[in-house]
Amino acid sequence: MLKITVRDGNDIRIIVEGKLASAWVDELRKCCRNVLSRSHPRNVLVDLADVSFVDAAGKNLLAGLAQPGIRLTSDDAAMDALVSDIVRGSYSQ
């Protein structure tokens, strides 16, 4: 199960909760495309604090999202490690 909430303010916050796996990866991809198509020039924050699992397809999606204007965040130790690897570019797809 995956829950995606979009909060629109000075920046756009995409809050992701649950498991980022399988068909849910495509749902997040669609949501991000929609947000990005209408967000410029505002920044987009992808909040992964409540994500409990990410499969390989989810990791690839997050790696693709790590670009200027999009910030991946988390406050969970395991997710922080994944986000750090992606942001540093050391996650290999």
Looking at residue 47, what is its pLDDT? 95
5 vs 64: CA distance, rounded Å: 20
Looking at residue 69, what is its pLDDT? 83
Strand order in the sheet with 2-8: 2-8, 12-20, 44-54, 70-73
Looking at residue 37, what is its pLDDT? 87
Per-position pLDDT tens, the chain of length 93:
899 999 988 889 999 999 999 999 999 999 999 998 886 767 899 999 999 999 999 999 999 988 888 899 888 887 888 888 877 776 655
Looking at residue 83, what is its pLDDT? 82
